């Protein structure tokens, strides 16, 4: 489904990604973790072309993301993305947020889009908020709407870029619950997160990054059992320690 081959990226002289390679199969849930500045957010943004890269290849569903001839909007329409800061459109109601991509990008009718949107809103438990504006919702609620907005496009896979990092602790679980449900339903997911509880529960694999490199790429059991690299062990002991 997603294949990242030897991707390297520089900001000017500074190399942010170094020779990153991994593969995510259909239905797989892969958690990407690592200290801040390790390049994990940059890597996930390379998958749908929000970040460009200078070397290597990213193939999503058989299409090369880095190829200048690729129709990126068309590709992105079917790759859902959830952001750290939700990025709901503040000038639109929740319903309109759910409709806009379906209508303007997929060409669905407004009625069809509304129906699909409300169904998903139901699913994330926010049907009653349909006519409100994003600013009237809590962070956790906004993020659940953002997940619903991505799902409304019928994505072939979902990318999560630190979806709970900007949330108050008491709101993290409501978002993780939705993600766990998605994972158990077989959605292909790439998730940048520090939530190791989530990783333990539903991830198939865990990727550990540091200084722009993929240091570990292991099955969940192996990663939490015996991470090979010292750096990953140190990282784990720090975030699992409390």
- Chosen residue from 12, 62, 135, 241 binding other proteins by CB under 8 A: 135
Using alpha carbons, list the distances in angstroms from residue 104 to 77, 96, 116, 224, 240: 11, 11, 15, 43, 44
Min separation Cβ 24 and other proteins, Å: 18
Residue 36: C-alpha distances to residues 40, 208, 209, 211 (Å):
8, 12, 10, 9
Task: Compute, in degrees rounded to 10, the torsion defined by CA atoms 198, 226, 3, 67.
Answer: 100
Stretch of 29-37, 74-82, 173-181, 217-225 contacting other proteins, by CB under 8 A: 74-82
Q: Is 50 in the site for other proteins (CB under 8 A)?
A: yes
- Short-list 195, 74, 89, CA closest to 145: 89
Rule CB under 8 A: is residue 85 a binding residue for other proteins?
Answer: yes
Does the protein bind other proteins through residue 48 (CB under 8 A)? yes
If one asks whether residue 134 binds other proteins (CB under 8 A), the answer comes out as: no
Of 7-15, 102-110, 222-230, 234-242, the segment contacting other proteins by CB under 8 A is 102-110
Q: In what order do the strands lie in the sheet with 213-219?
A: 79-82, 157-161, 189-192, 29-33, 205-210, 213-219
CA distance 75 to 61: 9
The interface with other proteins within residues 5-24 (CB under 8 A) comprises none
Nearer Cβ to other proteins (107/225): 107
79 binds other proteins (CB under 8 A): yes
If one asks whether residue 192 binds other proteins (CB under 8 A), the answer comes out as: no
Say which DSSP state 128 is in: G
Binding segment toward other proteins, per CB under 8 A, in 10-18, 70-78, 137-145, 203-211: 70-78
Contact between 101 and other proteins per CB under 8 A: yes
Considering the rule CB under 8 A, would residue 153 count as an interface residue with other proteins?
A: yes
> Concatenated DSSP letters for 98-121?
HHHHHHHTS---HHHHHHHHHHHH
Token pair 């000017």 in the structure block, residue = 12
Q: Point out which residues bind other proteins (CB under 8 A).
A: 45, 48, 50, 72-81, 83, 85, 87-91, 100-101, 104-106, 133, 135, 149-150, 153
């Amino acid at each position: 489904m997603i294949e990242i081959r030897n991707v390297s990226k520089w900001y000017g002289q500074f190399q942010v990604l170094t020779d990153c390679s991994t593969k995510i199969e259909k239905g797989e849930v892969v958690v990407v973790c690592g200290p801040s500045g390790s390049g994990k957010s940059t890597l996930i943004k390379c998958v749908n072309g929000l970040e460009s890269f200078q070397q290597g290849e990213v193939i999503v569903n058989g299409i090369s993301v880095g190829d200048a001839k690729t129709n990126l909007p068309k590709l992105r329409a079917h790759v859902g993305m959830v952001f750290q800061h939700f990025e709901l459109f503040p000038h639109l109601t929740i319903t309109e947020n759910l409709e806009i991509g379906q209508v303007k990008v997929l060409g669905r009718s407004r009625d069809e889009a509304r129906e699909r949107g409300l169904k998903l809103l139901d699913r994330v438990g926010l049907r009653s908020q349909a006519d409100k504006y994003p600013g009237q919702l809590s962070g956790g609620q906004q993020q659940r709407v953002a997940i619903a907005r991505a799902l409304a496009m019928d994505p072939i896979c979902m990318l999560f870029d630190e979806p709970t990092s900007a949330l108050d602790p008491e709101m993290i679980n409501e978002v993780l619950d939705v993600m766990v449900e998605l994972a158990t339903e077989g959605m292909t997911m790439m998730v940048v997160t520090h939530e190791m509880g989530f990783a333990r529960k539903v991830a198939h694999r865990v990727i550990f990054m540091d200084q722009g490199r993929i240091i570990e790429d292991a099955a969940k059991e192996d990663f939490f059992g015996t991470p090979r690299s010292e750096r990953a062990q140190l990282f784990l002991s720090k975030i699992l320690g409390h």
